[in-house]
């Protein structure tokens, strides 16, 4: 059972898809930027790999391309590992163009975050990585293969043991464990502490998502097996927090 907010986002997404017939255009990313390589480089310098998110909803408005570009450049300068870009247009006030602007402004890998329900959504914009939410993807394996065929790295997001099991049956090399409960929208870092070691033990690159607000939270997630950590709300509220979270600076 998902929350009313999530159900509304899914309804809107399906309506938007039904209103726009598929096209023959197909995205191909030939120069995908590598998240694990970037993470390894940062760790070699004692910096925790933070996936810094561009999340317009936190500001309560859509962003201009120049604003997205400026955020991307600042995240890179402050030692981000990757930039996550919300592209869902209604609830999160994002757009595919934001992902394009961020990729043009930065040399970091770009993760596109949206509610991907059909393969054709993958062709809306080129990105290095794309989020696939296991809970909303009845044909998860097919979407993983479709993303890879376009040169995008799929990051399969899970919230429960059952979803992690489903992700492990696909060809994904990365899994994101979201600490947010889809039914209540409450956040608990214990979710990652429970599922992280299982995913890590399966040989996947593991990302901790949601609820990470302090350097102590970062260290707790890393201890539980996080290879990278996705932070959105905290950084949108206070961009200067990034060097404190990743350990590049100390309070």
Q: What is the spatial distance between Cα 54 and Cα 68, in angstroms, rounded to a whole number?
A: 7
Q: Which of 124, 153, 163, 209 is catalytic?
A: 209
Q: Give the list of residues 6+ apart from residue 152 with CB closer than 8 angstroms, or none.
A: 27, 29, 32, 122, 126, 127, 128, 129, 130
Q: Is 169 a known active-site residue? A: no
Q: What is the spatial distance between Cα 52 and Cα 67, in angstroms, rounded to a whole number?
A: 15
Q: Is 148 a known active-site residue? A: no
Q: Which of 76, 124, 153, 157 is catalytic?
A: 157
Contact assessment for residue 129 and residue 112, using Cβ atoms and an 8 Å cutoff = yes
Q: Tokens in use for 48?
A: 């925790």
State the number of CA atoms in the 13 A half-sphere of 2 facing the CB: 12
Q: Which of 48, 106, 113, 137 is catalytic?
A: 113
Q: What is the spatial distance between Cα 99 and Cα 121, in angstroms, rounded to a whole number?
A: 14
Q: Is 53 a known active-site residue? A: yes
Q: What is the spatial distance between Cα 134 and Cα 223, in angstroms, rounded to a whole number?
A: 25
Q: Which of 137, 210, 234, 246 is catalytic?
A: 210
Q: In sequence order, what are the beta bridge partners of 177?
A: 158, 208
Q: Is 48 a known active-site residue? A: no
Q: Is 113 a known active-site residue? A: yes
Q: Which of 48, 53, 98, 153 is catalytic?
A: 53
Q: Which of 55, 127, 153, 246 is catalytic?
A: 55
Q: What is the spatial distance between Cα 240 and Cα 246, in angstroms, rounded to a whole number?
A: 11
State the number of CA atoms in the 13 A half-sphere of 120 facing the CB: 11
248 Cα distance to chain centroid: 22
Q: Which of 84, 178, 179, 246 is catalytic?
A: 178
- Enumerate the active-site residues: 53, 55, 113, 157, 178, 209-210
């Amino acid at each position: 059972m998902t929350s009313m907010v999530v159900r509304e986002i899914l309804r809107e997404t399906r309506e938007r898809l039904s209103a726009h017939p598929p096209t023959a255009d197909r995205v191909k990313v030939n120069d995908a930027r590598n998240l694990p390589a970037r993470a390894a480089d940062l760790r070699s310098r004692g910096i925790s790999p933070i996936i810094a998110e561009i999340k317009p909803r936190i500001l309560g408005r859509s962003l201009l391309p120049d604003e997205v570009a400026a955020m991307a450049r600042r995240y890179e300068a402050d030692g981000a590992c990757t930039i996550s870009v919300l592209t869902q247009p209604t609830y999160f006030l994002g757009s595919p163009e934001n992902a394009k602007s961020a990729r043009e402004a930065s040399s970091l890998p770009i993760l596109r975050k949206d509610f991907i329900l059909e393969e054709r959504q993958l062709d809306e914009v080129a990105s290095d990585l794309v989020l696939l939410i296991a809970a909303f993807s009845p044909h998860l394996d097919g979407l993983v293969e479709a993303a890879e065929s376009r040169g995008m790295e799929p990051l399969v997001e899970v919230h429960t043991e059952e979803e992690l099991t489903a992700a492990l049956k696909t060809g994904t090399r990365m899994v994101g464990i979201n600490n947010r409960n889809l039914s209540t929208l409450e956040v608990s870092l214990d979710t990652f502490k429970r599922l992280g070691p299982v995913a890590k033990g399966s040989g996947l690159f593991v990302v901790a998502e949601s609820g990470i607000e302090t350097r102590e939270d970062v260290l707790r997630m890393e201890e539980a097996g996080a290879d990278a950590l996705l932070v959105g709300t905290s950084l949108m509220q206070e961009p200067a927090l990034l060097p404190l979270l990743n350990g590049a600076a100390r309070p």
